[in-house]
Amino acid sequence: MFRKVKRGQVYRATRDIKMLGTVILKAAGSGGFYCTIPKDTRIVIAQDPWPWPISKGAYATPLNYKELEEKLVPLKERELPNYGFYTLCLEFKELRYFVREDEKEIRFDDKKMQEEWDRNNTIAVR
């Protein structure tokens, strides 16, 4: 299954799933937090995963990014002066709790994330 995971694929959670989230800062470094994404959350694979066997997962971003930001990202992380955005660290083993959905067009509920996707067809996790 992991070999089929590619940037731009959309998956929908079939149950609540505990995951690791990452805060991407505008400067060097990043923060991290654990969160539970709710059932029916739709995520897009933000970047192609590293080749196997190095990679055990991929960065993923919820399509309802703005809606979930306050619920998932701790306030102390969001208040950092160099806070950029957040992403989720999807482990391949968690894919058993998702179903793949065919999407013709990726649409976020956040203008900044949409612009980033439209510009690069990816979410730049630096």
Instruction: Decide: 99 and 11 in contact? Cβ < 8 Å.
Output: yes
Q: Tell me the per-residue pLDDT of 41-82, one tens digit each, with 9 for 90 and over.
A: 999 999 888 776 667 888 999 999 999 999 999 999 999 888
- Evaluate if pTM is beyond 0.95: no
pLDDT band at residue 27 under the 50/70/90 scheme: low
Label the pairing between strands 83-91 and 30-37.
unpaired
Give me the residue spans of the domains in the chain: 2-104
Say how far apart CA 100 and CA 44 lie, in whole Å: 10
Q: How confident is the model at residue 28 (pLDDT cuts 50, 70, 90)?
A: low
Note whether 59 and 45 are within 8 A (CB). Answer: yes
